[in-house]
């Protein structure tokens, strides 16, 4: 991405000084902005996701809601969660949230994954699964604070939203963004999306009386590359399991970067230790041992 040649103007004729616009190309972290306040639950993004990623058709589940299925699946990465929230005055608020991988800056799946190169994080912030290196241990499932990675029992590999890394790499926006009819989904640099999200939250507070409106960009996982504008940012849980303070189990970090190498070396030294014992102390033989001279022509051990 960074060294891609662009049609950006470097020099122009008859112009002194640097050419206008030179250096405007930035290396930036990408971000998807989901404005839950303007989502209408049309599920166009769901269809676009299945379509672009060429997913096999899967049965939907009807459980008396508008929700396509209870949770995302290995072949269904993008799900609008429909949640009914009762306000204090008894009225119902219908909350729709697009659920997908959050592309954390500090990904829990990556902390848990033991396989070499099965999970990659690109410099633009996208966290992607590389199925050819996946060993199917499903540790990422337990490492993810958002309950996103899904195991495919057929291929024994884990799958999730790629933030359309294949499209983004070509300078396109993710499929879900392209399909969104209301503009509640936006895609751009993290800085820009944060700016827009904060502006929108301010607008909601000032013009719509939503004094708790805010942006969901949890810093406990270093921020995410999918951020939400919420009607009430003080209680993200009501949007269908959006954790207020997502964390990665500490055991993964400690175990993987401290215990594993240290104890692995310790086990290896166990092997060296017995060899050292053989060299320094020597074997214990059944007693009485044959005398030295006898050992040479006896049936010694």
Partner 1 sequence: MGTAIDRFDEKARQTFDSIGRTEVYRGELLRHSVYTRLLHWAVALFFFLALFTGFGIYLPWLFRWFTPVFGGGALSRILHPYFGVAFVFFFFFQMLNWLTPMIWCDGDSKWMRNIRRIAASQEKLEPPDTGFFNAGQKAMFWEIVAGCIVYLITGIILWAGARSFGATAVAISYVLHDLSAIIMLGGIFIHIYLSTIGEPGTFQAMTRGAVSEAWAWTFHPAWYKKVTGRDPREDYEKARQQQNTTPKANSNPN
Residue 29: name the closest of 125, 103, 101 by CA: 125
241 near partner 1, rule: CB under 8 A? no
Smallest gap from Cβ 74 to partner 1, in A, equals 11
> In the set 38, 133, 198, 203, which binds partner 1 (CB under 8 A)?
133
Least Å from the CB of residue 236 to partner 1? 18
Check residue 6 for interaction with partner 1 (CB under 8 A).
Answer: no
Tokens 């829990």 sit on residue:
108
Cα distance between residue 226 and residue 29, in whole Å:
11
- Candidates 60-68, 73-81, 200-208, 250-258 — which segment interacts with partner 1 by CB under 8 A? 250-258
CB 167 within 8 A of CB 173: yes
> Are 155 and 163 spatial neighbours (Cβ–Cβ below 8 Å)?
no
Binding mask 156-195 for partner 1 (x = CB under 8 A): xx--------------------------------------
Report the distance separating Cα 131 and Cα 157, nearest Å. Answer: 6
| Pair 100, 148: CB distance under 8 Å | yes
Q: Given candidates 9, 60, 212, 251, which one binds partner 1 under the rule CB under 8 A?
A: 251
Least distance CB 224 / partner 1 (angstroms): 18
Closer residue to partner 1, CB minimum distance, 202 or 260: 260
- Tokens standing for 177? 């963004």
Determine the Cα–Cα distance for residues 23 and 8; give it in Å rounded to an integer.
9
Residue whose token pair is 């884990």: 158
Query: Footprint of partner 1 on residues 253-272 (CB under 8 A)?
Result: 255, 259-260, 263-264, 266-267, 270-271
> What is the nearest approach in angstroms of partner 1 to the Cβ of residue 244?
16
Pick one of 69, 120, 137, 172: the residue that binds partner 1 (CB under 8 A).
Answer: 137
- Options 22-30, 162-170, 229-237, 281-289: segment touching partner 1 (CB under 8 A): 281-289
3-state secondary structure of 212: coil
Residues 91-130 that bind partner 1 (CB under 8 A): 112, 114-116
Pairwise CA distance, residues 174 & 284, whole Å:
70
Say how far apart CA 290 and CA 298 lie, in whole Å: 8
Query: Candidates 32-40, 86-94, 97-105, 245-253 — which segment interacts with partner 1 by CB under 8 A?
Result: 245-253
Buried b (16+ CB within 10 A) or exposed e, 156-182: ebbbbbbbbbebbeeeebbbbbbbbee
19's tokens: 């050419």
Question: How near is the Cβ of 299 to partner 1 at its closest, in Å?
Answer: 6
- Binding flag, residue 153, partner 1 (CB under 8 A): no
Q: Does residue 292 bind partner 1 (CB under 8 A)?
A: no
- Report phi then psi at 33, rounded to 5: -110, 125
301 contributes a contact to partner 1 by CB under 8 A: yes
Name the site residues for partner 1 (rule: CB under 8 A).
Answer: 112, 114-116, 133-139, 141-144, 151, 156-157, 249, 251-252, 255, 259-260, 263-264, 266-267, 270-271, 273-274, 277-278, 281-291, 293-294, 298-301
């Amino acid at each position: 991405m960074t060294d891609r040649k662009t049609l950006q103007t470097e020099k122009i004729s008859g112009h002194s000084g640097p050419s206008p616009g030179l250096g405007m190309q930035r290396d930036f972290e990408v971000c998807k902005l989901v404005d839950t306040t303007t989502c209408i639950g049309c599920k166009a993004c769901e269809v676009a996701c299945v379509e672009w990623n060429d997913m096999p058709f899967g049965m939907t589940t009807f459980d008396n809601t508008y929700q396509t299925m209870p949770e995302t699946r290995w072949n269904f990465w993008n799900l609008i969660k429909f949640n009914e929230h009762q306000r204090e005055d008894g009225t119902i608020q219908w909350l729709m949230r697009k659920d997908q991988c959050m592309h954390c800056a500090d990904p829990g799946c990556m902390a848990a994954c033991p396989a070499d190169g099965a999970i990659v994080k690109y410099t633009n912030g996208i966290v992607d699964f590389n199925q050819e290196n996946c060993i199917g241990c499903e540790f990422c499932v337990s490492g993810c604070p958002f309950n996103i990675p899904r195991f495919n029992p057929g291929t024994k590999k884990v799958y999730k939203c790629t933030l359309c890394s294949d499209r983004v790499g070509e300078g396109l926006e993710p499929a879900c963004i392209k399909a969104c009819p209301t503009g509640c989904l936006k895609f751009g640099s993290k800085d820009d999306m944060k700016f827009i999200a904060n502006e929108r939250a301010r607008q909601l507070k000032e013009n719509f009386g939503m004094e708790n409106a805010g942006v969901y960009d949890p810093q406990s996982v270093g921020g995410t590359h999918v951020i939400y504008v919420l009607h009430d940012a003080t209680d993200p849980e009501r949007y269908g399991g959006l954790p207020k303070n997502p964390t990665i189990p500490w055991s993964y970090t400690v175990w993987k970067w401290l215990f594993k190498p240290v104890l692995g070396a310790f086990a290896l030294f166990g092997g060296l230790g017995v060899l050292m014992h053989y060299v320094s102390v020597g074997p214990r033989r059944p007693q009485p041992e044959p005398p030295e001279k006898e050992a040479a022509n006896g049936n010694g051990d």
